Structure 1
Amino acid sequence: MIRVIIERYIAESMETTYDAQAREALRNAIDIPGFISGESLKDDHNPRHRVIVSTWRSTADWYRWYASSERREKIERIRPLLEADERITVLEYAVPTGNV
């Protein structure tokens, strides 16, 4: 399993519109092959800073989704709501989960 962290900074006055788009995207994510779970978080000190944490079966599953036309379409709807491009970090376990 891997975790993917996506950081986004929402343009001023676009929080409500962004939240609706993010909710829809997370609801649709359950149908994506390899997607396990996800959550959308708001920075307590900066309400326009949002972080999405998702869990995927493998890096191959994530990158397949990342490169898909479906994701590109979703991002094109979200991009006008952002102050800057999203920042993505893909994390894999440093220690195998069964050996701790």
Structure 2
Amino acid sequence: MIRVMIERHIADDLAEYYEQAARNTLQTAMQAHGFISGESLRNTNDSNHRVVMANFRTIQDWQRWHGSAERKEIMEAIMPMLDGEEKITVLEH
């Protein structure tokens, strides 16, 4: 199993819209091959800093999801809400 940490910083006043988009992303990711679980967290010191933790069976499963048309479509909706690029870190035991 691998864990993927996705860090995002939301532009001011867009948190409500981001939350809906993030929920849609998680619902779609749940259907991805090899997806195990995921959660979305908010930094207690910076409410615009969000971290998504996703567990996938293998790195190949993550790469398949990361490059999928479904994720690209979702990211087209999320990217305008972000203050910069998302940062992705793939972790393993």
TM-score range, shorter chain: over 0.9
Partner of 1:69: 69
The amino acid across from 1:27 in the alignment is: Q
Q: Secondary structure at the match of 1:48?
A: strand
1:27: Cα distance to partner?
1.7
1:70: Cα distance to partner?
1.2
TM-score normalised by L of structure 1: 0.91
**5+ unaligned residues in a row in structure 2: which ranges?**
none
Q: Secondary structure at the match of 2:13?
A: coil
Bigger drift between 40-49 and 64-73 goes to: 64-73
**2: CA distance between counterparts of 1:65 and 1:43?**
25
Number of residues of Structure 1 aligned to a counterpart in Structure 2: 93
**1: CA distance between counterparts of 2:25 and 2:33?**
14
CA RMSD of the aligned region, Å? Answer: 0.6
The amino acid across from 1:55 in the alignment is: N
Bigger drift between 59-68 and 22-31 goes to: 22-31
**2: CA distance between counterparts of 1:64 and 1:30?**
13
State yes or no: 1:39 paired with 2:39.
yes
Partner of 1:4: 4
**5+ unaligned residues in a row in structure 1: which ranges?**
94-100
**2: CA distance between counterparts of 1:7 and 1:90?**
12
Instruction: Give % identity.
Output: 47
Q: Which runs of 4+ in 1 moved over 6 A?
A: none
The amino acid across from 1:67 in the alignment is: G
Q: Secondary structure at the match of 1:11?
A: coil
State yes or no: 1:55 paired with 2:55.
yes
Partner of 1:97: none
Structure with the greater alpha carbon radius of gyration? 1
The amino acid across from 1:16 in the alignment is: E
